Chains A and B, each alone.
Chain A
Amino acid sequence: MTISISSTFADLRKDFPILKREVHGKPLVYLDSTASSQKPQSVIDAMSDYYARYNANVHRGVYQVSEEATDAMEKARVKVARFIHAPRSKQVIFTRNTSESINLVAYTWGMANIHKDDLIILTEMEHHSNLVPWQLLAQRSGARLEFIPVTDDGLLDLTIYAQLLQQQPKLVAFTHMSNVLGTINPAQEMIAQAHAAGAIVLLDAAQSVPHLPVDVQALDIDFLAFSAHKMLGPTGIGVLYGKRTLLEEMPPFMGGGDMIRTVSLRSSTWNDLPWKFEAGTPAIAESVGLGAAVDYLQALGMDAVRAHEIEITSYALEQLQQVPTIAIYGPGAEQRGGVVSFTLGEIHPHDLASILDQEVGVAIRAGHHCAQPLMERYNLAATARASFYIYTVKEDIDMLVQGLHKAQNIFSF
């Protein structure tokens, strides 16, 4: 029996209440999932169920409701661990978002291990969240930053990477999938090379964990960072995965409740993993929501998610390429996640985004996408960006293309 992926995926749109709304009198066409995904009803219900039925603080109360809350949060951690194939759930640390996960590593592992003149290798295609924390670390420690260049095709220049690795880097931090170009970087190969050169690797998986199967053990990842809100979950919670020995040796990040074992007036000892890195009352409802998001994605299967996005992205590239004066950035669909950045003739991306919003109800992103160095690499002030997820259908792409033609009519002169 053949199951048509697109029809299955088309059916799931009913699970997303926001997809029923209108903007400017037109059905919402949401093409900005790279910035933040929409949420299925199951995630919304899981969070309101926590507040309605078992809201209490975790890890403290010796009473039924608090135990239920603790249990729900820790079950969510186990779900996340299984989702990324982490050996143990204690290696899954809940943070606020990808940025905080990366900052955690920069402040704790970084301050303990990165010293003057040490080399950190990054890439030209990083989101500011995987660039600025390392700039700050370099300023504090005197470390050097070097960058793997991006080719005209939107790929990393791995020849230069190999050369940089000969300089004995301490850390290689790179994005698994570019939020602008959509490029899926060859993580397996790059991590193996980094390890052979003696470096630790941090993978920014903000775009990859929501869209691709990611196995931290198969990839032999040292640190992995991602956010719940880009993978059907709520805002306000992210994940840092780390190898156990690394996490155990790292000093704590923020001090406060929950992260301690014993506290006296002048000193304290630290709690076990993962709580050593989770000071203060955590995002409990959000962890429950993230657990529900993982359930939703696992029911679909990440291979099917990826297959759907290849289909939608191929269709989008094919349709968009036919629009006169369009310039599309980045690689072909096989090496690209569900992201297409483009410019349309002389029309400023902000004008394009406003017209798409008002004329056809299409929500896209316009700007530098928190990747200013990459924009400079392509000599662009801004691009328009359409991005896709499990609920994106071909009709959404058709509406985008229709909107681009309208924009061209409005701006024809």
Chain B
Amino acid sequence: MSMDYYREYILDHYRNPRNYGKLEQPDVHSEDSNPLCGDQLSMDLTIEGDRVSAVRFQGRGCAISQASASMLSEMIEGKTIQEVVALGKDAVLDELGISISPARTKCAFLALRVLHRGLAIAGLETPDDSEEEL
């Protein structure tokens, strides 16, 4: 995979983030920051039945962290909780379509970490300590 982080579709997600904002009464809410670069991200989900009916995220930070959040929001919208719980780093990397150098993995996986933390807080998944290593 290319090391070229700043492909047009990544920049497009950064410039025009999908599902940007907050939800009034989310079933799942979580936020986190990346202390090394000051990236911030919050994520809200609503659940209907066993599916994610709506997702919004808000944040500020580098293009990689914000684009990956935007892409992740599209990936989980309408999915079953089971599918969302199963989402891992590989799925995010596939969607980004670039290889991420070790120094930037915290940026690329910030949204994924916020998502799983939110699901854990809501009791929808068991906290996975290995996710903290993201």
Which residues of A come within 8 Å of B, CB atoms?
24, 348-351, 354-355, 358, 366-368, 375, 381-382, 410-411, 413
Contact = CB atoms under 8 A, between A and B. Distances in A.
B11 A358 contact: no
B107 interface: yes
Given A367-B36, A368-B38, A350 B64 contact: yes
- Chain B interface residue number, banded: 10 to 19
Interface stretch (B2-10, B73-81, B87-95, B112-120): B2-10
Contacts, number: 50
Interface in B87-113: 101, 104, 107
A382 B61 CA distance: 10
A410 B6 contact: yes
B37 A350 contact: yes
B63 A351 contact: yes
25 contacts: A24-B3, A348-B37, A348-B62, A349-B62, A350-B37, A350-B62, A350-B64, A350-B104, A350-B107, A351-B6, A351-B63, A354-B5, A354-B6, A358-B4, A366-B37, A367-B36, A368-B37, A368-B38, A381-B37, A381-B39, A410-B6, A411-B6, A411-B11, A411-B63, A413-B11
Contacts of B36: 367-368
Pick the 3 closest A-B CB pairs, nearest first: A381-B38, A348-B62, A350-B62
A88 B86 CA distance: 65
Contact of B104 (A354, A382, A410): A354
Given A349-B62, A354-B104, A367-B37, 4 more contacts: A358-B3, A381-B60, A382-B37, A413-B15
Contact of A351 (B3, B60, B62, B101): B62
Contacts of B62: 348-351
Contacts of B64: 350-351, 354
A23 B92 CA distance: 26
Given A410-B11, A413-B11, A348 B5 contact: no
A42 B4 CA distance: 37
A28 to B, nearest CB: 16
B37 A349 contact: yes
B6 A355 contact: yes
A249 to B, nearest CB: 39
Nearest to B33: A381
Contacts of A350: 37, 61-62, 64, 104, 107
Max chain B C-beta neighbours (<10 A), residue from A350, A368, A410: A350
A367 B4 CA distance: 21
Interface in B119-134: none
A381 to B, nearest CB: 3
A24 B107 CA distance: 21
Interface in B17-64: 36-39, 60-64
B35 to A, nearest CB: 8
A411 B104 CA distance: 18
B3 A348 contact: no
A381 B36 CA distance: 9
Nearest to B40: A381
A251 B55 CA distance: 60
Contacts of A366: 37
